[in-house]
Structure 1
Amino acid sequence: MSTSSDVLEAMPAAGDCAYGMHDSTVIKHIGIVLYDGFSLLAAGTLAEALHVANELQSEAADHSLTYRVNLVSARGGTVSCSSSMSVWTEQLAGGKFDSLDNLFVAGGSGVARASSDDNLIELLRHVSGKSITITAMGNAHMLLSAAGVGPRDWPSMTQDIRLESTAETVSKHERDQALMTSLAFVKKDLGADLAMRVADRLDSGGGLSLATAFEEMYDTTLAEKARAAAHWLVLNCAKPISVVDAARMSSMSERNFLRLFKREIGVTPSKYLLRARLDLTCKLLESSDLPVDKIARRTGLSNGERLSKLFRKEFSMSPTEFRARSREKR
């Protein structure tokens, strides 16, 4: 695996072609803000993760996005990291803002000193006023706070990464945090499958299993998505909705949505929707004198004939019999 400094030195200049891009590939421009005393390990880890994402994308037939990473600073030129190594940066000013899609701010031991750098703080304030997503890495949130930029953490990120070993070193923690930030970013752009492949490629084999940690984090997000879809089906069951509508609402393909819903909820979306409609039907039969045909239309079950067939199948009685029995119990 490449070292952080190798990856940083391998980053293309703004005018260079990156990673053998196809003509149809969308290029996403990523800026990493550096300053004297930045963490080379954190910045290099982010660059390495995006480079691996590019490599994995290039192996796929549907290669659709390539990251181009630029190292930038308030003044440009040479910037020294916390371990006294120097890297070359471009000055982030003028038209450079317009070419960026995302901006990451590296953390590091020099963050307190950088917080008093008027040029850097003004730069971050200026960027925050544009349509560029800014993400702090590690303790770089201090810089954004000094610039008056609110936190914009990824929804799927976790700040408390669980380690099997209690002998956590600062450098390992920096790398793990940078990797989790990178994986959340890649997942947002390219999906969890590719993000987990990046995690597998970069996993150091130490106390933290990145692939496992990220998969658990992603599974939690999916479980929440399935529950939200189930709630949406209940709220809208009276409308002429379908499973396709629910999948679209969840921003998932129908196939993946069906698999996820069955796994998390225990039944298929179609079965869940039918139960919601029958439950609403039962409530209307108990509380109103509406004709069965009208109730069927109000609960998304088309007509009285279909409702009667479904009712007999599910409850072994007709809607009219159900109404009579429910009222006898009052």
Structure 2
Amino acid sequence: MSTSSHVFDAIACNNNRTRPVKDSAAVKHVGIVIYDGFSLLAAGTLAEALHVANELQFEAQSRSLTYRVNLLSVRGGTVSCSSSMSVWTEQLAGREFDSLDNLFVTGGSGVARASADDGLIDLLRRVSAKSVTITAIGNAQMLLSAAGLGKRDWPSIKQGIRAESPPSVPEHERDQALMSSLALLRRDLGAELAVRVADRLGSAGEISLAGSFEEMCDQTLAEKARASARWLAQNCSKPISVVDAARMFSMSERNFLRLFKREIGLTPSKYLLRARLELTCKLLESSDLPVDKIARRTGLSNGERLSKLFRKEFSMSPTEFRGRSRKRL
């Protein structure tokens, strides 16, 4: 993992300092909610991005906003991540919710168990009632759904239905956490600083971040739609979603869907699927990779799903397409 341990050391030191009053325009309080089995990669990336934003402002002697980051859990104390490393947290219940400006909730292998924790779910509801901005990273959407704060895409654990977390994709966890933090930085400090943070940190999954933020500067709505289409095409091999694209371009999902369809002529999901199928065709023609491996390389999860989509779009299997394309050569 690229996140340096000094980021978590800095968080621990912040917890012991006297906190400035919330009315201070120079400080923004950001909480990162974690639980046993959380993704250390996602939490570390969020913390590091905000830490770098503080450093860049200090270097430029233009510190207009300082981010104060705290690791939070429902009971406080030691919490273990999915790789069994332990970190120290503040108790979320012991904090004044009004002191929080933004709250990030990380995903991880323990998200299903955390979703059954009534104490955590109740706290998320109470924080939301205080109008604190809550952002889920990766499969943490499951926690928000359990709290009634997001789309109910997951079965209810309380009804005795076993809820499985989606497979963990470490590189994607870092990219999504980085995108979410960059969107916050752009809103607070402008696109220029967000681009500098993206340049400093880079992207483990090679998602084009800095370039996309540069494109966002001074764009018309039509330009923003075209830029988002390019971003979807450039990153279609990654497990990205339409929600990721909307966050990337600082838009609500609803407005993004409406703008994209109006300007591009397709919904973002159909455009993304088309880009993935085009990449699939190229890989079928130019490589001997198994269909299942091609599916993973094109963001289509597995060979079974790829085959169903391929038959629906082209009325043939991927193997048949590969055979026909090579006969033409």
Instruction: Please say if 1:62 is aligned against 2:62.
Output: yes
Residue of structure 2 in register with 1:222 after alignment: 219
Residue of structure 1 in register with 2:169 after alignment: 170
Query: Would you say the 8 A contact 2:175–2:204 is kept in 1?
Result: no
Alpha-carbon offset, residue 132 of structure 1 = 1.1
Mapped partners of 1:205, 1:136: distance in 2: 20
Mapped partners of 2:15, 2:205: distance in 1: 35
Q: Kindly provide the CA deviation profile for residues 63-91 of structure 1, in whole angstroms up to 9, marking residues without a partner as x.
A: 21000000000000000001110000000
Residue of structure 2 in register with 1:16 after alignment: 17
Query: Would you say the 8 A contact 2:121–2:143 is kept in 1?
Result: yes
Residue of structure 1 in register with 2:113 after alignment: 113
Residue of structure 2 in register with 1:210 after alignment: 209
Mapped partners of 2:187, 2:60: distance in 1: 18
Mapped partners of 2:172, 2:126: distance in 1: 31
Mapped partners of 2:113, 2:205: distance in 1: 32
Change (3 A) 1:17 1:67: farther
Instruction: Please say if 1:82 is aligned against 2:89.
Output: no
Change (3 A) 1:17 1:187: farther
Residue of structure 1 in register with 2:38 after alignment: 38
Alpha-carbon offset, residue 214 of structure 1 = 3.1
Q: Kindly provide the CA deviation profile for residues 272-320 of structure 1, in whole angstroms up to 9, marking residues without a partner as x.
A: xxxxxxxxxxxxxxxxxxxxxxxxxxxxxxxxxxxxxxxxxxxxxxxxx
Residue of structure 2 in register with 1:184 after alignment: 183
Q: Where in structure 2 are there 5+ consecutive unaligned residues?
A: 152-167, 225-329
Query: Would you say the 8 A contact 2:192–2:214 is kept in 1?
Result: no
Alpha-carbon offset, residue 59 of structure 1 = 2.1
One-letter amino acid of the structure 2 residue matched with residue 178 of structure 1: A
Alpha-carbon offset, residue 206 of structure 1 = 5.9
- Greater alpha carbon shift after TM alignment, 206-215 vs 52-61: 206-215
TM normalised by structure 2 equals: 0.57
Alpha-carbon offset, residue 15 of structure 1 = 4.1
Alpha-carbon offset, residue 25 of structure 1 = 6.2
Mapped partners of 2:127, 2:147: distance in 1: 10
Change (3 A) 1:95 1:40: closer
Residue of structure 2 in register with 1:3 after alignment: 3
Alpha-carbon offset, residue 137 of structure 1 = 1.0
Instruction: Please say if 1:145 is aligned against 2:145.
Output: yes
Sequence identity of aligned pairs in percent?
70
One-letter amino acid of the structure 2 residue matched with residue 55 of structure 1: E
Query: Would you say the 8 A contact 1:102–1:134 is kept in 2?
Result: yes
RMSD: 2.6
Residue of structure 1 in register with 2:48 after alignment: 48
Alpha-carbon offset, residue 170 of structure 1 = 1.6
Secondary structure of the equivalent of 2:88? strand
Mapped partners of 1:66, 1:110: distance in 2: 31
Mapped partners of 2:92, 2:31: distance in 1: 9
Change (3 A) 1:79 1:94: closer
Query: Would you say the 8 A contact 1:112–1:142 is kept in 2?
Result: yes
Mapped partners of 2:85, 2:184: distance in 1: 27
Alpha-carbon offset, residue 116 of structure 1 = 0.2
Alpha-carbon offset, residue 109 of structure 1 = 1.1
Query: Would you say the 8 A contact 1:180–1:214 is kept in 2?
Result: no
Change (3 A) 1:95 1:132: same
Secondary structure of the equivalent of 1:222? coil
Residue of structure 1 in register with 2:125 after alignment: 125
Q: Where in structure 1 are there 5+ consecutive unaligned residues?
A: 19-23, 152-168, 228-330
One-letter amino acid of the structure 2 residue matched with residue 51 of structure 1: H
Secondary structure of the equivalent of 2:15? coil
Q: Kindly provide the CA deviation profile for residues 34-88 of structure 1, in whole angstroms up to 9, marking residues without a partner as x.
A: 0001000000000000000001111234321000000000000000001110000
Alpha-carbon offset, residue 175 of structure 1 = 0.6
TM normalised by structure 1 equals: 0.57
User: Between Structure 1 and Structure 2, whose CA radius of gyration is higher?
Assistant: 1
Query: Would you say the 8 A contact 1:38–1:107 is kept in 2?
Result: yes
Query: Would you say the 8 A contact 1:103–1:135 is kept in 2?
Result: yes
Alpha-carbon offset, residue 96 of structure 1 = 2.8
Secondary structure of the equivalent of 2:17? coil
One-letter amino acid of the structure 2 residue matched with residue 183 of structure 1: L
